[in-house]
Amino acid sequence: MVCLSIAGSIIAGAHYYAVDLPQQNAVTTPENYTPAEIKVECRNICNDNHERCGTMCSKDATNEMEWHTCRMQCDTVFYLCNIDCDLK
């Protein structure tokens, strides 16, 4: 049993290095997708999520304080999302 598990591990490792790893390293981003386009797409996602978050605040808040707290959290996540887009 031990010999079988050792042999299986060796074969699995060889398969990983021979087949899986080269395929993972061969994956690249499309050449026609510029960094500026990536940032625009990222910011669009941030804007959509911020809008959805604000809608949820309006639906879920039971008083003005909850609404302001929720909106502040939405704004913080939106701000951090845009910073993340700038780093791409």
Q: Find out whether 65 and 79 touch, Cβ atoms under 8 Å.
A: no
The full set of domain ranges for the chain reads 2-86
pLDDT tens for each residue of 47-73: 999 999 999 998 988 999 999 999 999
Give the pair of three-digit tokens for residue 24.
Answer: 């993972």
pLDDT greater than 80 at residue 18: no
pLDDT greater than 80 at residue 81: yes
Predicted local distance difference test score (pLDDT) of residue 87:
85
Half-sphere exposure of 38 (CA within 13 A, CB side): 12
pTM over 0.75? The answer is no
Q: Alpha carbon of 41 to those of 13, 15, 55: distances in Å?
A: 38, 37, 21
d(CA 10, CA 86): 43
